[in-house]
Amino acid sequence: MGSLAVLAKQMGFRVTGSDVNVYPPMSTQLEAEGIEILEGYSAKHLEPTPDQVIIGNALSRGNAAVEYVIEKGLSYISGPQWLAESVLRDKWVLGVAGTHGKTTTSAILAWILEFAGLRPGFLIGGVTKNFSESARLGGSQFFVVEADEYDSAFFDKRSKFIHYAPRTAVLNNLEFDHADIFKNLEEIEKQFHHLVRTIPGNGAIISPYEDSEIEKVMGMGCWSKRQLFGVNLPESSCEKIALETGKLWNALLDGEQGNEFQLFKYVEASGEITRSEGLVRWNQSGQHNVRNAMAAVAAANHVGVDLSLATKALEKFEGVKRRMEFCGTGNGVNVYDDFAHHPTAIKTTLDGFAAKLGSSKNSQRLVAVIEPRSATMKSGIHQDKLSQACHSADEVVWYKSDDMGLDFELLTSSLGVPSRVFNSVDEIVTLLAETCSSGDNVIIMSNGGFEGIHEKLLTSLKSIEMTQN
């Protein structure tokens, strides 16, 4: 919604918005754009009468602002529909979908197109460090959009991405999530197939090799050209897959670190396979980010960006805020912020960081501080997966709010690493300040603001450092 507000402002509209507890980096971006943020959902925020009200999917009937809009007969629309009708019409849309990696892959893709001089428009669900904003109209026919499967609004229960009609579509992965609106994985697969139905025959669907859930979706019907990507696939398999599909991308890397890898492109033409390659050295880590990069390179290639130029762009990609973002150091303790919303995201982040530490992990502890804030994690559906996700950490600290259905006693006993549970952010800060030593790495994982724990922890650590000095 914040990114939509930015686009509307760039189109020349006067934009205001109502929300509760807006936090950085989106709050600071909106303020920088001159967009007024009104706290709460008072009907008074809709006076004088706006020409258009865009209602986010977090709101439902009973909300004071929503009730006012309906009672007064104001013109209202969902965010995805407004984007489709006002911005995406006549654009070549590059949509990035999947349970994980949407924001990072969208950010990488937009940056590759920018680096290639294509001046893309984009809407990304986070603030990328290569751009000063999370959304812009752009100066060309190309528009990159993070394509979410969540529903559009209380009055439009279609997945957001149904509105976007991408010509180039990335399907990064597919797992069960959003338990508040989907009963099971099959319901999500159905929505993904609805997306596949909107992609033209001369478009491209880019997805990982041998992803069983995505293959189920494709088995329901596919009318577009496909490109697959994989990691450490053998040469013989690459040529065979390329003969079957027409194009394959493969990354070769050692271990999980992922800050350097060879990227290969296999293309079939008249029964013959041609191969091109490029070396990537960048400041991102983890095999999951290698996969994000491959998907973005493939999507950029579909609109004409060659492999050599794309690899150069990757070397200058600076990352996305709140995706393993370094916050600072206090008393020798490094503090990171990560937007974790699912056990798989937690696992890939921790595994990747542990691989980056390598042999130094013996002297540098990895401490994960986790707020299971998403509706799916809070419900307890991923109880077992959460236990398995944290094995790379040396210690795990859990934040438990009153509305969580997780069994934390079972969770901590089955974790396999030291684990503690708190229902107070201040208590977590006190624990970490007292027990962390110089060289330790604290990764704070939440898809919310987490009551400003990052700043509180750094302040406490720096205070101890000043006292000791």
pLDDT digits (tens, 9 = 90+) for 427-466: 999 999 989 989 999 999 887 778 889 899 999 998 888 7
Which tokens hold the place of 93? 């849309």
Q: Which residues pair with 421 in a beta bridge?
A: 398
Sign of CA dihedral 425, 426, 427, 429: positive
User: Per-residue pLDDT tens for 364-421?
Assistant: 899 999 888 877 676 667 777 887 888 889 999 989 887 777 788 888 887 778 888 8
Residues 250-279: b if buried by 16+ CB within 10 A, e if exposed: bbebeebbbbebebbbbebeeeeeeeeebe
Q: Within the chain, how many helices (H) and strands (E) appear?
A: 16, 22
Q: Confidence band (pLDDT; 50, 70, 90) for 179? A: low
In angstroms, rounded to a whole number, what is the distance separating the alpha carbons of residues 244 and 128?
36
User: What structural domains does the chain harbor?
Assistant: 2-74 (3.40.50.720), 81-315 (3.40.1190.10), 325-468 (3.90.190.20)
In angstroms, rounded to a whole number, what is the distance separating the alpha carbons of residues 425 and 160?
34
* DSSP helix/strand/coil, 377: helix
Residue 45 pLDDT more than 80? yes
Backbone φ and ψ of 299, nearest 5°? -65, -40
Residue 359 pLDDT more than 70? no
Q: Is the peptide bond before 50 cis (omega within 30 degrees of 0)?
A: no
Mean pLDDT (the chain, rounded): 90
The set of long-range contacts for 234-237, using a CB threshold of 8 Å and a minimum separation of 24, is none
User: Per-residue pLDDT tens for 305-347?
Assistant: 999 999 999 999 988 877 778 889 999 999 999 887 678 888 8
In angstroms, rounded to a whole number, what is the distance separating the alpha carbons of residues 459 and 328?
10
Q: Which residues pair with 279 in a beta bridge?
A: 262
Query: Taking a C-beta distance cutoff of 8 angstroms, is the pair 132, 56 a contact?
Result: no
CA-angle at 211, arms to 259 and 201, nearest 5°:
100
Sign of CA dihedral 469, 329, 419, 448: positive
Over residues 95-106, mean pLDDT? 91
What pLDDT is attached to residue 351? 85
Among candidate residues 205, 63, 425, the one with its CA nearest the CA of residue 53: 63
pTM: 0.78
Can you list the positions of beta strands (E) in 322-440? 325-330, 333-338, 366-370, 395-399, 419-422
Length of the chain: 469
Of 63-67, 215-219, 288-292, 462-466, least confident by mean pLDDT is: 462-466
51 CB neighbour count, 10 Å cutoff: 8
